[in-house]
Amino acid sequence: MSQEESPITRRQMLGDATRYAALGGIGSLSAWLFYKRSGQAAAACPSSSSTCGECSQAAGCRLPQIWQIDPNRCIACDRCQTNCVLDLSAVKAVNCFALCGYCDNCTGYFPTKDYVLDTGAENQLCPTGAIARMYIDKQGGVPYFEYTIDESLCIACGKCVVGCRLMNGSLYLQVRHDRCLNCNECSIAVACPAEAFCRVPADSPRLLSRAAQAAEEALARKRSSHDKSSKGIEMRVGGTS
Ligand code: SF4
Ligand code: SF4
Ligand code: SF4
C-alpha cells in the first residue's frame, strides 16, 4: 500500500512530525558526539551530492567525513552484523515511517511461513526481538500497526530489511554515529559485497533509498499544504500514534 493510499492521514502526519523531530535530534546528537570525540569543528558541506564519492570537489575536501550505508546498494547480507570491530555492530535497522505501510501482516516483522499473527517470539523474524509492533488504528476494517526498532537489541543481521522489501521496503540499515568509531578503514566497508559503504559529510549523515526519499518529500509537501489549510484552526488531535 502506498503512503498516498493510506487512510492514516492527520494522525499519522502528526506522529511522523514527532518522529522526524526525534530522528533529527538523534542525528544532530550523533554528529555532535562525533565532533566532540574527534575534536573536530563542525563545518557545513557546500555540495549537494549525497555521498563524498559523488562530489566533484572530493579530492580537495578537508571537511569531516563519516561512514554511512547507501540503502540503494545494500543487499542486507549479514556482514554488517559480523564484520564491525565493535562487539555489537554500529549498524542498526531503521524504519522510514513515511514509506511504511503500517501493515498488519508485516513481512519485516513476521516470517513468510509457519507463524501466527501475534507477538510471540516464535512468530518474529527478528532473532533478538528488536522490533516493537504497536497497534495504532483501524480504518475501513483494516488494522494498522507501527514498527519501531529497539537499537540496543538490534544486531544488524538485515533479516527485517530483506523481509520488508517484499512489501514497501521501509526498513533499511544505517551506521549509528553515536556508536561508530569512524575507523579509517571500516572493516565492514572492506567486507561489503555491494560497495554500499561510503563516506558522507559529517553534517548530513543520513542516506535514504530513492523510494524513502520520495516518500519523505511527498509527506513534507502534504504536511506543508495541511499546515496552510489549517492555519488559524485549532488543532484538536490527541497523541501521536
Ligand atoms: S555488508 Fe554491505 S550489503 Fe551487507 S548489510 Fe552491510 S552495507 Fe548491506
Ligand atoms: S536488523 Fe536483524 S536484529 Fe536488527 S531489527 Fe532487523 S531483524 Fe532485528
Ligand atoms: S567504521 Fe569501525 S566502528 Fe564504524 S561501522 Fe565500520 S568497523 Fe564498525
Atom of ligand 2 minimally distant from the CA of 129: 8
Q: Establish if 133 belongs to a structural domain.
A: no
**Ligand number, closest to the Cα atom of 130:** 2
Q: Establish if 143 belongs to a structural domain.
A: no
Q: Establish if 115 belongs to a structural domain.
A: no
Q: Which residues contact 54 (CB under 8 A, 6 or more apart)?
A: none
Burial class (CB in 10 A: 0-12, 13-18, 19+), 218: middle
Question: CA 13, CA 241: separation in Å to the nearest integer?
Answer: 10
pLDDT tens per residue, the chain (241 residues)? Answer: 333 334 444 345 434 444 544 444 444 455 545 555 554 545 688 888 889 999 999 888 899 999 999 999 999 999 999 999 999 999 999 999 999 999 999 999 999 888 888 898 999 999 999 999 999 999 999 999 999 999 999 999 999 999 999 999 999 999 999 999 999 999 999 999 999 999 999 999 999 999 999 999 999 999 988 877 765 444 333 222 2
Ligand 1 site-directed mutation target among 72, 78, 80, 197, most atoms within 8 Å of CB: 80
- What's the confidence (pLDDT) of residue 53? 93
Q: Establish if 188 belongs to a structural domain.
A: yes
- What's the confidence (pLDDT) of residue 116? 84
- What's the confidence (pLDDT) of residue 19? 52
The answer to whether 38 and 182 have CB atoms below 8 angstroms apart is yes
Residue 130 Cα to ligand 3 middle (Å)? 21
The answer to whether 156 and 94 have CB atoms below 8 angstroms apart is no
Residue 102 Cα to ligand 3 middle (Å)? 31
- What's the confidence (pLDDT) of residue 113? 86
Q: 229-239 b/e with 16+ CB inside 10 Å = b?
A: eeeeeeeeeee
User: What residue ranges line ligand 3, CB within 6 angstroms?
Assistant: 67, 84-86, 90-91, 175, 180-183, 186-188
Whether the model pTM is above 0.75: yes
| Residue 1: strand pairing partners | none
Residue 190 Cα to ligand 3 middle (Å)? 10
Residue whose CA lies nearest to ligand 1 atom number 8: 74
- What's the confidence (pLDDT) of residue 42? 54
- What's the confidence (pLDDT) of residue 36? 52
Q: From 132, 138, 143, select the one nearest 105 (Cα to Cα).
A: 143
**What's the domain range around 90?**
10-101+156-228
Residue whose CA lies nearest to ligand 3 atom number 8: 84
Residue whose CA lies nearest to ligand 1 atom number 1: 192
Residue 235 Cα to ligand 2 middle (Å)? 37
C-alpha cell at 164: 520488508
Q: Establish if 110 belongs to a structural domain.
A: no
Residue 1 Cα to ligand 1 middle (Å)? 27
- Residue 158 CB coordination number (10 Å): 21
Q: Domain total for the chain?
A: 1
